[in-house]
Structure 1
Amino acid sequence: MNPSPTIDRNDFNEDKPREACGLFGTSGHPDAAKMCYFGLYALQHRGQESAGIAVVDDGLMDEYKGMGLVPDVFDMDILDRLNGSAAVGHVRYSTTGSSVVANAQPLVVRHRNRAYAVAHNGNLVNAHFIKAELEDSGSIFQTTMDSEVFLHLFVRNLHLGFEESLKASVARIKGAFSMILLTSRGEMIGIKDPNGFRPLCLGKLNGAYILASETCALDLVQAEFVRELDPGEIVIISKDGVKSIHTNTPRKRSFCIFEFIYFARPDSTFFGHNVYLTRKAHGRQLAKESPVDADLVMPFPDSGVYAGLGYSEASGIPFETGMIRNHYVGRTFIQPTQSMRDFGVRVKLNPIKELLKGKDIIIIEDSIIRGTTAKTRVKALRELGVKRVHLRVSGPAHRFPCHYGIDFSTKGELIAAKMNVDDLGKHLGLDSLRYLSLEGLLTSTGIDNPADHFCKACFDGCYPVQFDENLSKHCMETRSLK
């Protein structure tokens, strides 16, 4: 294992929501570990804290994982040692469980001369209660991850048979989960929760099968996109081919709409709709709903770029890149002195002074979560001599916590839950602030009956899967220990 230290999540990175992780698995490929490496490279945006790969060769499972980005964790010598034709990989951003190498995934366990590795994206809302039940009956947990709960259930249910164990274990867990399970016999299993919160798709490459969080990972390895897994589906890939098992699912899907707004790479596709084009459509709708006179439209790189292009297109106001991003700032950059309180923000983004001074500008963002970074950046623009600053957000206001794998699980973290729009605009130092309406967001996805496809709980407080408020408090206590 890579002995890198714990990564501090409280660095100066932008005030953006974070999701749990990215998954990539392949079965039937002679260089499975290297395929996983490239697949994880494509999914690096989904998690930058840790990376790992588990591989199966002739009934034996090997693994390697560590803290940091994919190219920091793996080199060619390590990949050459990970021999096998089936592998599963994972990049992580923790929403439950400490950010330490013990919690890096895939999580590997051994039971009765067999090994199992699981990679998980999402959050189990009842994991705390199942864990307590299992511990009372003698189970010993090695990590603080909710993912380990599933493996305990799975091996306890193996007396029912392999497929029945999968079905029984999936039936016990609640919440958001897309998983890839790899066995030492070489089976690769894709699992999607009944609501379909998190993405998972199936691909094929020269006879090998691939499971991945996003289609951009299939593109990188030149695999053919086959389809997205259905909500509640279990796909078993083995030497006998592909078998699909469907469990009972709700009538409405609950796909996280924030995949379209922010999480996913713009070159990925969900439900046959490209993310880049959808974000541009959000921007065009935002321009219709909240027009304002200005000299230019600009994003804070990189989150508002595509909606900004759409806003510019619909409004006729020129799009400019008024801020230049330094792409070489490390995640654990240390501020040199206490007196340089804004250094972290300024080292990452630098304005083009000649372009912005004396101008009326429209900033396009995809979200305002805690508001700290936005306030600092608006202040810097004012000091630069920008005349008026208008902020337009390509989604509704976040007023409700997420319990399904995004890292704001209490209402107190959300600044829009504490202030109305006008007061928040004044607090941030803006001349005006407007959000895209929920109706406008759904309509601009271009998907038929969009209200039946998406989880919108962070916007409207309507939670598709029930949870216990005490669990939310427990998660926050766990996160405070990171």
Structure 2
Amino acid sequence: MCGIVGVVSNAPVNQLIYDALLLLQHRGQDAAGIVTQHERKFFMHKAKGMVRDVFRTRNMRALPGNLGLGQVRYPTAGNAASEEEAQPFYVNAPFGIVLVHNGNLTNAHALKAELFNTDHRHINTESDSEVLLNVLAHELEKATRGADLGPAEVFAAVSGVHRRVRGSYAVIAQIAGHGLLAFRDPFGIRPLCIGRSKDGTVMLASESVTLEGTGHVLERDVAPGEAVFVSLDGKIQAQQCAERSQLSPCIFEYVYLARPDSVLDGISVYQARMSLGETLAQRVISVVPPTEIDVVIPIPESSRPSATELAHLIGRPYREGFVKNRYVGRTFIMPGQAVRSRSVRQKLNAITSEFEGRNVLLVDDSIVRGTTSREIVQMAREAGARKVYMASAAPPVRFPNVYGIDMPTKEELVAHGRTVEEVRQIIGADALIYQDVDAMKRAIGSLNPAIHGFDASCFDGQYVTGDITDGDIARMNEQRVTSHEGDEDTSRLALPNATEA
């Protein structure tokens, strides 16, 4: 999962892209990069770290031009320690292309061999984004065969990319001297939208909040399989480039990943989380009578909309029982579970008066490994709670995600191969209530009837691309970013919540 942005303007874009990346910081904290174009020359700066740390005044001054793109990186494959794998990526032929990518290619291994043996292109990193860039470059070369490049050739090249590439990909690319190209995979798994400001600036970004926060008006989402070409003068041309397409966005975007003030594919993320709270309330009532619940407390931050709606519907008070320390950076993983548990207490502190002598219902957005949930339940008990019930706004996470979310392997998922009762015992709660998979899909899907399905593979094991085998998952697990002593925690649980970005 990453955040990407591209801009075509009649004024310098370096500060605008920087501001946009700050609004996308919740989508990746490991690295950031910006590239601009001035007189057919690219100017790039990228490094590991948060946006505010990567870009200093001297770096910004070295990024001239009215056209550019940027990315915040959250690695799911490759080498998280390598600054070479920070994006954007660049190739000099044909034309000169730079690219940023959000997603994960499920056939990157086969493509890499094909690029070397057949296309005679060199891949210098372990990043699937570099593989995608070289596939695009090769298809552009085929489409032009030495001739001029126009929208027709660009769209033909994207069609070639769709035929060869599998997995999830929202892409923005700059072609030197020509303009900006953006496209989504045929399932629209990862989000991408387009907007315009009053002065004619065109912006493409992962989330609508990026447009709104920088003075742009959201016009629409890029359709699955569609390519959008923005010329240097801001003229937009678009074409469907996939033989078959269907909108099946990743449902975990609405559960956790996206900011609540974003609208993705016509669905308000905030409203989606409210709807999850509504359906979760029905599940809670069937397990724990509301009269046995004294207070409903969210686990900060992204569970708050679900928790407020749930509390309202079951008629119990909503309270803030945990305070999150916003100034604790990414925690470091060291040997031993005790350190992982201690990191939870560094990030959260319980307000004793909200727990003491009460039966509390804790609401979280999801439960992945279960270690954080177990520690939070224990914190509630230590604060004096009589009983601790846990409700998850998402269903049990039972399967790995292969489309760009750094979910653990299935062996690390607390719900994999276990019953709800077994998970309850592991986390130590007096009751555990999960969202229902079908109810989740209905609740979010009802907010936009044009969406006929979601990728909910980490919940139901159904991968929308239809080409994922156990062997593919095993190979991708080998390529996952792994943590060692002294490494930062790059798991989904280490990400700051969207409202903090």
> What TM-score do you get using the length of structure 2 for normalisation?
0.88
Matched, 1:135 2:134: no
**1:133 shift after superposition:** 1.8
The structure 1 residue matched to 2:205, chosen from 191, 202, 212, is 212
1:362-395 Cα deviation digits (max 9, x unpaired): 0111111111111112122222321111111111
CA distance in structure 1 between the partners assigned to 2:92 and 2:237 by the alignment: 25
Aligned pair in 2 of structure 1 residues 337, 124: CA closer, same or farther (>3 Å)? Answer: closer
Q: How do 1:33-48 residues align onto structure 2 when only pairs under 5 Å count?
A: 33-48=14-29
Does the 8 Å contact 1:116/1:181 carry over to 2? yes
CA distance in structure 1 between the partners assigned to 2:414 and 2:212 by the alignment: 38
**1:73 shift after superposition:** 0.5
CA distance in structure 2 between the partners assigned to 1:32 and 1:317 by the alignment: 49
CA distance in structure 1 between the partners assigned to 2:448 and 2:346 by the alignment: 43
Does the 8 Å contact 2:250/2:454 carry over to 1? yes
1:299-344 Cα deviation digits (max 9, x unpaired): 1111311111111121121111101010000114588999877432
Q: How do 1:433-452 residues align onto structure 2 when only pairs under 5 Å count?
A: 433-445=432-444, 446-449=446-449, 452=452
Match of 1:66 in 2: 47
1:417 partner SS: coil
Aligned pair in 2 of structure 1 residues 341, 396: CA closer, same or farther (>3 Å)? Answer: closer
1:21-70 Cα deviation digits (max 9, x unpaired): 00111012412121111111001000011100011001000100111111
CA distance in structure 2 between the partners assigned to 1:334 and 1:169 by the alignment: 38
**1:479 shift after superposition:** 2.4
CA distance in structure 2 between the partners assigned to 1:347 and 1:372 by the alignment: 15
Aligned pair in 2 of structure 1 residues 480, 208: CA closer, same or farther (>3 Å)? Answer: closer
**1:249 shift after superposition:** 5.4
CA distance in structure 1 between the partners assigned to 2:470 and 2:13 by the alignment: 42
Q: How do 1:116-135 residues align onto structure 2 when only pairs under 5 Å count?
A: 116-135=97-116
Does the 8 Å contact 2:162/2:241 carry over to 1? no
Match of 1:231 in 2: 224
1:93-115 Cα deviation digits (max 9, x unpaired): 01111112111011122125x32
Match of 1:56 in 2: 37
- AA aligned to 1:198 is R
Does the 8 Å contact 2:225/2:245 carry over to 1? no
Q: How do 1:321-470 residues align onto structure 2 when only pairs under 5 Å count?
A: 321-332=320-331, 342-408=341-407, 410-445=409-444, 446-449=446-449, 452-465=452-465, 466-470=467-471
Matched, 1:303 2:283: no
Number of paired residues? 462
Does the 8 Å contact 1:23/1:89 carry over to 2? yes
Match of 1:282 in 2: 276
**1:470 shift after superposition:** 3.0
Match of 2:478 in 1: 477
Match of 1:4 in 2: none
Q: Structure 1: 5+ residue runs without aligned partners?
A: 1-19
1:429-475 Cα deviation digits (max 9, x unpaired): 01111111122212222335587231122222222111243332222
Match of 1:156 in 2: 138
CA distance in structure 2 between the partners assigned to 1:336 and 1:416 by the alignment: 23
Q: Which moved more, 1:44-53 or 1:155-164?
A: 155-164
CA distance in structure 2 between the partners assigned to 1:58 and 1:268 by the alignment: 35
- AA aligned to 2:236 is V
1:109-132 Cα deviation digits (max 9, x unpaired): 2125x3211110111111110101
- AA aligned to 1:160 is A
RMSD value over aligned CA atoms?
A: 2.1
CA distance in structure 2 between the partners assigned to 1:62 and 1:458 by the alignment: 39
Q: How do 1:161-240 residues align onto structure 2 when only pairs under 5 Å count?
A: 161=144, 162-163=153-154, 164-205=156-197, 206-239=199-232
The structure 2 residue matched to 1:254, chosen from 248, 258, 267, is 248
Does the 8 Å contact 1:128/1:471 carry over to 2? no
CA distance in structure 1 between the partners assigned to 2:407 and 2:336 by the alignment: 29
1:290 partner SS: helix
CA distance in structure 2 between the partners assigned to 1:372 and 1:337 by the alignment: 12
Does the 8 Å contact 1:27/1:186 carry over to 2? no
